[in-house]
């Protein structure tokens, strides 16, 4: 089955890329954009039919590799 | 004095490091990342570069490579481990050093000479260097050191800050911070001070005709310490 993961920077961690995107959007007349936070998205195909098993495996993957918990949070969709 | 430099796919300062280590008397050997064991060594060096193309996060893939288990065992048994630039990033990703190196604050790749202030000399890396400020070279896109406030307090209390960015006179304030690193941190130790990760490249400062000699002070001290 396919498991989807989103990794984002934790609140309060500086995101200069997000800031640059926000400022560009503002310059493109999207004046009402007050913040952009950039993240990563993963589509993971796991050879496992049991959804809860697959998700718990992906959770381990997130903690060990996909996210660095010093600055990032992850969400399994 | 035996040293081992680990080569990852994408390392590009491995040979510079090899030249520097040999110049100051190390018997250096190059070790491939996919080897299982590191030959007997007094020091392991993780060199600069762009291991695995900086995929996912800088140093994250190299931090899980086959050789890393031996590096961790060596470090945990008190062996000397030095990580320069990408090597520093790898050390944080393995968990041997706290924190992480984020993208530079102003999103620019920085390639320049900098001054760094030695913050702790009670260790084998800096103990007999007769200077407080060194001129070294940096070249990185992700050198913006970050850690949580709790972690920072631990690092400071344990004297784990190794070097900070500063001016020629040693002022390590916000005006002399090239990449946004928290507290101007350019390099840190682990708690036991046998592991050092730093963004500046001492191996690029070993020849007065090409660059400078403050890197030589670093390697001379290392040879003498071991």
Q: What are the tens digits of pLDDT across the range A23-52?
A: 999 999 999 999 999 999 999 999 999 999
Query: Is the pLDDT score of B34 beyond 90?
Result: yes
Tell me whether residue B13 is one of the annotated catalytic residues: no
Query: Is the pLDDT score of B173 beyond 90?
Result: yes
Query: Is the pLDDT score of B17 beyond 90?
Result: yes
- C-beta atoms of A14 and B102 within 8 A: yes
> Does residue B193 contact residue B122 with C-beta atoms inside 8 Å?
yes
Task: For residue range B82-139, list pLDDT tens digits in order.
Answer: 999 999 999 999 999 999 999 999 999 999 999 999 999 999 999 999 999 999 999 9
ipTM greater than 0.90, yes or no?
no
Q: What residue spans define the domains of chain A?
A: 2-76
Say yes or no: A66 contacts chain B, CB-CB below 8 A.
Answer: yes
Q: What is the mean pLDDT of residues B167-188?
A: 97
Question: Within 10 Å of residue B211's Cβ, how many Cβ atoms?
Answer: 16
- C-beta atoms of B99 and A14 within 8 A: no
CB pairs under 8 A between A and B: 35
Q: Which residues of A touch B155 (CB under 8 A)?
A: none
Q: Which residues of B touch A70 (CB under 8 A)?
A: 92, 98-100, 146-148, 151
- C-beta atoms of B100 and A13 within 8 A: no
Q: How far apart are CA B219 and CA B46, in angstroms?
A: 15
- pLDDT value of position B210: 83
- Parent domain of B41: 2-225
List the single residue in B with minimal CA-CA distance to A11: B148
Q: What is the mean pLDDT of residues B36-51?
A: 96
> Does residue B121 contact residue B129 with C-beta atoms inside 8 Å?
yes
**Burial category of B9 from C-beta neighbours within 10 Å (exposed 0-12, middle 13-18, buried 19 and up):** middle
Tell me whether residue B85 is one of the annotated catalytic residues: yes
Say yes or no: B73 contacts chain A, CB-CB below 8 A.
Answer: no
Say yes or no: B109 contacts chain A, CB-CB below 8 A.
Answer: no
> Does residue B41 contact residue B14 with C-beta atoms inside 8 Å?
no
> Does residue B187 contact residue B162 with C-beta atoms inside 8 Å?
yes
Alpha helices in chain B (DSSP H): 14-23, 68-76, 86-94, 149-157, 214-225
Q: Which of B88, B51, B44, B89 is nearest to B69 (CA)?
A: B44
- pLDDT value of position B135: 97
Percent of chain A at pLDDT > 70 equals 100
- pLDDT value of position B9: 95
**Rounded to a whole number, what is the distance in Å from the CA of A45 to chain B's nearest CA?**
18
Please report, to the nearest 10 degrees, the dihedral formed by the alpha carbons of residues B57, B154, B73, A71 taken in order.
Answer: -20
B62 CA to centre of own chain: 15
> Does residue B136 contact residue B202 with C-beta atoms inside 8 Å?
yes
Query: Is the pLDDT score of A14 beyond 90?
Result: no
* CATH of the domain spanning A2-76, picked from 1.10.3720.10, 3.30.1280.10, 3.30.565.10, 2.130.10.10: 3.30.1280.10
- C-beta atoms of B105 and A65 within 8 A: no
Query: Is the pLDDT score of B226 beyond 90?
Result: no
Say yes or no: A17 contacts chain B, CB-CB below 8 A.
Answer: yes
Q: How far apart are CA B30 and CA B7, in angstroms?
A: 7
Tell me whether residue B58 is one of the annotated catalytic residues: no
List the single residue in B with minimal CA-CA distance to A65: B60
Q: How far apart are CA B165 and CA B127, in angstroms?
A: 19
Query: Is the pLDDT score of A12 beyond 90?
Result: no
CATH assignment at residue B66:
3.40.50.880
Task: Tell me which DSSP letter residue B66 carries.
Answer: T
Three-state SS at B104 = coil
Element of type H or E holding B44: strand B43-46
- pLDDT value of position A16: 86
Of B100, B107, B180, the CB nearest to A70: B100
Number of domains in chain B: 1
Q: What is the mean pLDDT of residues B140-155?
A: 96
Please report, to the nearest 10 degrees, the dihedral formed by the alpha carbons of residues A39, A43, A47, A49 taken in order.
Answer: 90
What value does the mean pLDDT of chain B take?
A: 96
B71 CA to centre of own chain: 15
- pLDDT value of position A64: 95
Q: Which of A30, A21, A17 is nearest to B102 (CA)?
A: A17
Least confident of A16-30, A54-68, B90-104, B183-197: A16-30
Q: Annotated catalytic residue: which of B13, B58, B85, B166?
A: B85
- pLDDT value of position B115: 98
Task: For residue range B192-207, list pLDDT tens digits in order.
Answer: 999 999 999 999 999 9
Through-space distance between the first and last CA atoms of chain B, rounded to whole angstroms: 7
Please report, to the nearest 10 degrees, the dihedral formed by the alpha carbons of residues A40, A44, A49, A52 taken in order.
Answer: -30
Q: Which residues of A touch B147 (CB under 8 A)?
A: 70
Say yes or no: A70 contacts chain B, CB-CB below 8 A.
Answer: yes
């Amino acid at each position: 089955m396919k498991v989807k993961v989103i990794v984002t920077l934790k609140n309060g961690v500086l995101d200069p890329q997000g800031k640059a995107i926000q400022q560009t959007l503002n310059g493109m007349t999207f004046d009402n954009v007050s913040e952009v936070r950039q993240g990563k998205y993963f589509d993971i195909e796991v050879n496992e039919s049991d959804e809860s098993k697959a998700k718990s495996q992906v959770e381990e993957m997130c903690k060990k590799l996909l996210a660095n918990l010093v600055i990032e949070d992850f969400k399994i969709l | 004095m035996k040293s081992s430099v680990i080569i990852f796919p994408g390392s590009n300062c491995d040979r510079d490091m090899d030249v520097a280590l040999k110049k100051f008397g190390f018997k250096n050997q190059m070790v491939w990342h996919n080897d299982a064991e590191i030959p007997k060594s007094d020091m392991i060096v993780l060199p600069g570069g762009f291991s695995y193309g900086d995929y996912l996060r800088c140093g994250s893939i190299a931090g899980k490579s086959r050789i890393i288990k031996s590096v961790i065992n060596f470090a945990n048994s008190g062996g000397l481990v030095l990580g320069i630039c990408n090597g520093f990033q790898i050390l944080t990703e393995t968990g041997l050093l706290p924190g992480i190196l984020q993208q530079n604050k102003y999103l620019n790749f920085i390639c320049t000479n900098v001054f760094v202030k030695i913050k702790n000399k009670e260790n084998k890396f800096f103990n007999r260097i007769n200077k407080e400020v060194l001129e070294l070279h940096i070249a990185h896109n992700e050198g913006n050191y970050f850690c949580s406030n709790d972690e920072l307090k631990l690092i400071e209390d344990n004297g784990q800050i190794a070097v900070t960015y500063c001016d020629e006179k040693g002022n390590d304030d916000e005006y002399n911070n090239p990449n946004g690193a928290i507290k101007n941190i350019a390099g840190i130790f682990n708690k036991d001070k046998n592991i050092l990760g730093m963004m500046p490249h001492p191996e690029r400062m070993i020849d007065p005709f090409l660059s400078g000699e403050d890197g030589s002070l670093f390697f001379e001290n290392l040879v003498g310490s071991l």
